[in-house]
Amino acid sequence: MSEVADFKPGLEGVVAVETEIAEPDREGGSLRYRGVDIEELVGKVPYENVWGLLVDDDPTSRMPDPEPYEPVRLTGNAPADLQAETARLAGDWKLGKLNEISDEQAREDLGRLSAQMMTIVARSARVADGHDGSISDEVVAQGATAAEKFLLRWRGEADPRHAKAIDTYWICTAEHGLNASTFTARIVASTGADCGAALSAAVGALSGPLHGGAPAYVLPMLEEVAATGDAARWVEEALESGERIMGFGHRIYRAEDPRSRILKRTAKELGSPHVDVAEALESAALEALQKRHPERVLATNVEYYSAVVLDVAEIPPSLAPAMFACSRVAGWSAHILEQKKTGRLFRPSARYVGPESRALSSLA
Ligand code: COA
């Protein structure tokens, strides 16, 4: 009875799991992975070791290099390719069900899958660019970090500015508690499914504009604002027509999103040509949102300056959700393992509000 009375649309504020992985500090505006502030990680620990910190609680551990594998079919639509190929890997690699394998085996499966998922995105992006052939493993092996290897596999070259932009972005977005995609991964893991099923389901959840897809809308928005030259008017018109301004608002933070702060700094350091218009739009949007919603903080979220940083690395907006998935393989993997160790099958309740019992003939 009590769960029916406690119905919360969108489960806002409902504590569904206990976790030791990440702690978004909603009032103080910081984010810690296993207790370590991400400010300490960016620029010092490469993404693949942040993966190790999140999954193994050990920054000297790392995501492995991908093993040779030929994806079955890449269309160039990266989220769709990633979801399909990740699910298929479970079959090709004969991955065991989480309720039948050891924690060590699950950790190994997650490492193999994470590394391969990055490869799938890089290769899908290459297809989208119109290239048929793939880059040889020897060339890819010349990269020192996962970000460099990703770029080499995609483009055959790794500009250091691009690699820094991607590494910073991946670290900032590697994990963030129980959002929609992570919850999805945990729900699937809670059924005892294999790691490929849990990760591919998470990719689907991440592809919508309200979760991981917002950066895809931010750059076109900045271009529109730059063309009008009047950020305040653009914001007023957008809000008047009932639009949401992409890159603002967050379910958790009631202060500045710390990731936004780091990404903005990085965009400046890397000399992004969009920083000026982004700052103009940001202050116009914050002022207008504050006026319209004085009751809640609608601040800049991670996806706003993510779009600007990804643009430094010449990532097309359409690839943004898949880039987010690449970074989040760390958080998802950590949560799948945590779910396996401590979790229980998810089975919430629904309050029935449909028609009363009636005869089929009454519908005629
Ligand atoms: N632009 C304009 N209005 C916004 C807004 C935005 N970015 N974010 C929230 N609002 C408004 C809503 O329209 C709503 O107004 P109403 O009560 O008059 O209808 C109010 O604020 C509350 O919105 P709600 O959707 O309940 O807030 P939330 O905390 O659940 O939403 C997001 C969180 C992220 C879904 C939401 O802020 C959003 O859609 N942002 C844009 C998409 C985005 O940047 N996503 C990436 C998230 S990391």
**What number is the average pLDDT over the span 186-197?**
98
More confident residue, 24 or 284: 284
Tokens of 215: 């950066």
- Residue 5's pLDDT is 59
Q: How many residues does the chain have?
A: 364
Each residue's pLDDT tens digit, 58-75 = 999 999 999 999 999 999
Query: Is position 303 annotated as part of the catalytic site?
Result: yes
Each residue's pLDDT tens digit, 12-31 = 888 999 999 998 877 777 89
Residue located nearest, by CA, to atom 30 of ligand 1 = 251
Tokens of 84: 């399909």
- Residue 253's pLDDT is 74
Q: Which of 179, 217, 246, 248 is the pocket-test mutation for ligand 1 (most atoms within 8 Å of CB)?
A: 248
CA of 100 to the centre of ligand 1 (A): 41
Each residue's pLDDT tens digit, 92-115 = 999 999 999 999 999 999 999 999
Average per-residue pLDDT for the chain: 93
- Residue 212's pLDDT is 72
CA of 244 to the centre of ligand 1 (A): 7
Q: Is 328 in the pocket of ligand 1 (CB under 6 A)?
A: no
Q: DSSP secondary-structure letter at 25?
A: E
CA of 305 to the centre of ligand 1 (A): 17
Can you tell me the distance from the alpha carbon of 258 to that of 59, in angstroms, rounded to the nearest whole number? 21
Look at the block and give the residue holding tokens 């202050």: 283
- Residue 355's pLDDT is 96
Most confident of 79-93, 245-259, 292-306: 79-93
Question: Quick check: 308 and 265 in contact, CB under 8 A?
Answer: no
Tokens of 54: 């999140």
Q: Is 249 in the pocket of ligand 1 (CB under 6 A)?
A: yes
Question: Quick check: 122 and 153 in contact, CB under 8 A?
Answer: yes
196 has a pLDDT exceeding 70:
yes
- Residue 251's pLDDT is 77
Residue located nearest, by CA, to atom 1 of ligand 1 = 244
Of the residues 85, 303, 335, 338, which is catalytic? Answer: 303
Can you tell me the distance from the alpha carbon of 93 to that of 73, in angstroms, rounded to the nearest whole number? 17
- Residue 214's pLDDT is 75
Of the residues 250, 274, 282, 338, which is catalytic? Answer: 250
- Residue 295's pLDDT is 86
- Residue 58's pLDDT is 98
Residue 1's pLDDT band, with cuts at 50, 70 and 90, is very low
Residue located nearest, by CA, to atom 16 of ligand 1 = 293
2 has a pLDDT exceeding 80:
no
Q: Is 250 in the pocket of ligand 1 (CB under 6 A)?
A: yes
Question: Quick check: 82 and 323 in contact, CB under 8 A?
Answer: no
- From residue 286, give the alpha-carbon distance in Å to each of 18, 93, 246, 294, 306: 33, 48, 12, 11, 17
H or E, element range at 33: strand 30-33
- Residue 13's pLDDT is 83
H or E, element range at 267: helix 258-269
Residue located nearest, by CA, to atom 38 of ligand 1 = 249
**What number is the average pLDDT over the span 216-234?**
93
What pTM was computed for the model?
0.91
Residue located nearest, by CA, to atom 36 of ligand 1 = 249
